Amino acid sequence: MEKVNRAPRDSEETFKISIREIVAPLFRRSRILIVTFVVLLTITALAAFLVPAPYKAHMSVLVKRDRLDPLVSTEATTQVITGSPSVTEEETNSELELLQSHDVLEKVVVASGLDKSHDDTWFSQVFSSIGRRLMPGETDADRLEHAVRNLAKKLKVETGATKNNLIEVTYKSPDPHLSYTVMHALAGFYMEKHVEVHRPFGSSEFFAGETEKYKHALDTSEERLRNFSRTQGLSAPDVERTDMAQDVANAIGQLKIAEQMAAADVAHIRSDEEQLSITPERSSTLQQLGPADKLLEDLTEQLVAAKAKRAQLAVKYDAQYPLVREADDEIAQIQAAIVAGENTKYLTATTDKDATHELIREDLSKTQADAASQRASIVALKAGIKDLQSQMVTLDEKALQQRDLLRDVKVNEDNFLLYQSKWDQQQMSDALDRTKISNVAIADPPEVPALPVYSLTTFLLVGFAGSVLISIVAAYGVDYLDASFHTPAQVIDILDIPVVVAIPKRA
């Protein structure tokens, strides 16, 4: 009969299932239930006796921050330690990847011999022989790669459940010594890989070479600086140039003063010449005012002589005689001259060199001499300033050369000290590596497992429980997939027709 799905006739009716209805499918499918249970239990028993129990080796890796490696850089770096920083999730994940890196697993495979068969069970030998026949051209490299892949699948690497800094690593194999060998090799190669990754290879040799190179460069630059001071005869061109600049500044000040004094002397000379032109060279020192005694004396003598001459003429001649009249006229003129002389006053003056004129002349001569001296000083100062400036230019060039040499010495010294410090740091890190001090540690080292992961009894009990469960599920599944009616109640409930007689199906 065909099974038809239908909703309950009354939505308010409570759907009730009895224990009989629940167990009924198991009785209807008892054959499937028994066969499935027997087959699974047989397989489980065979597996328990034929498949060796695995032994699990375990180790724990602690990620910490006990060691701070210096930065491998050619620059001067100062690492400031502020407490103990916590380990980040990214760092823990990085260590997880390192544990499962291909080169580490490859070294573990080679060291523990996983590329060669360690399983002596008959079915593993059968599978190995079948594999060799299917792949007759398989090389050692292929077998090594397959062993690495198998190890990666079997190796279980995970962090702790409480999100701590522990990494749990487990590996299972039928041989307890093999499990221990694999974990021991993994621990050793992982530590080497950690040091290799966090400490670039050859950094110590690199810094040693750079230190030696800059030590040689420093010696060379210092020798060049010594030769420069020895050949140039200068120890500090900058200091000498500074002193010379002060001398030039003083000379320029003196030149300005000399030019001002020369200009003042020129103006002084011009003023003295103007004053000298209007100042007399001589001046009176004594003046006397008196009559013309000498003139009167001479005129009196002339009058007496004229009168004597007229008297002589008057004896011989008449008064109208021309010689007599001429004598009278001469007498009258002398008498008039005597009268005029008596009314005339003579000024007697004594003169000498003018003092003002002499002072101006002397000042002019002195100023002219000073002006000539100032002009000579100006010429000498200009020549001296030019010579000093020329020497300053030469000192500038030598100072530049010395600064270049000093800069080379300073740069080489800084580089030498930097690489010397870096080399010391790398030597310290190498010493820490040799003493196995790093930021990871094997907190729980691997040991040879004494007991398998599970015992034979446990395996059989679990197999028995699994067989029961799977056989029940199989019975219910087959019964569910069967579309026929199983009870009269199903017919009444689904088809809604009365059942007169129910005849069970017989085998």
* Percent of residues, the chain, with pLDDT higher than 90: 0
Instruction: Render pLDDT for 86-99 as a digit per residue (tens, 0 to 9).
Output: 667 777 777 888 88
The whole-angstrom separation of Cα 456 and Cα 206 is: 60
Average pLDDT, the chain: 75
Region 17-27 average pLDDT: 75
pLDDT score for 42: 86
Q: Percent of the chain beyond pLDDT 70?
A: 74
Q: How far is CA 97 from CA 18, 69, 100, 167, 280, in A?
A: 57, 21, 5, 11, 121
Interval 43-69: pLDDT, tens: 888 876 766 677 888 888 877 765 555
User: What pLDDT shows up at residue 36?
Assistant: 86
Min mean pLDDT across 348-352, 442-446, 447-451 is at 348-352
Arithmetic mean of pLDDT, 467-477 = 86
Q: Please tell me the predicted confidence (pLDDT) of residue 131.
A: 54
**pLDDT surpassing 80 at residue 242:** yes
Using DSSP's 3-state secondary structure scheme, residue 412 falls into: helix
Residue 219 pLDDT more than 80?
yes
CA distance 280 to 356: 9
Element containing residue 61 per DSSP (H, E):
strand 55-63
Q: What is the mean pLDDT of residues 126-141?
A: 59
Confidence class for position 2, pLDDT limits 50, 70, 90 = very low
Three-state DSSP state, 173: strand
Beta bridge partners of 169: 59, 157
Helix residue ranges, H only, 233-292? 237-278
The band of 8, judged by pLDDT with boundaries at 50, 70 and 90, is: very low
Alpha carbon distance 495, 6 (integer Å) = 8
Instruction: Please identify which residue in the block is written with the tokens 């001589």.
Output: 282
Each as own residue / partner, the long-range contacts of residues 498-502 (CB below 8 Å, 24 or more positions apart, any chain) are: none
Are 281 and 357 a contacting pair, CB within 8 Å? yes
Query: Does residue 218 carry a pLDDT above 80?
Result: yes
C-beta pairs of 148-155 under 8 Å, 24+ apart in sequence: 148/102, 148/105, 148/106, 148/109, 150/114, 151/105, 151/108, 151/109, 151/114, 151/182, 152/100, 152/105, 155/100, 155/105, 155/186
For position 432, what pLDDT does the model report? 55
Q: Give residue 463's identity as a one-letter amino acid code.
A: G
Give me the mean pLDDT over the 337-342 stretch: 77
Note the pLDDT tens digit of each residue in 452-462.
766 667 777 88
Determine the average pLDDT of the residues in 153-163: 76
Q: Which residue has the higher pLDDT, 240 or 184?
A: 184
**Residue 471 reports pLDDT greater than 80:** yes
The answer to which of 71-75, 195-199, 495-499 has the lowest mean pLDDT is 71-75
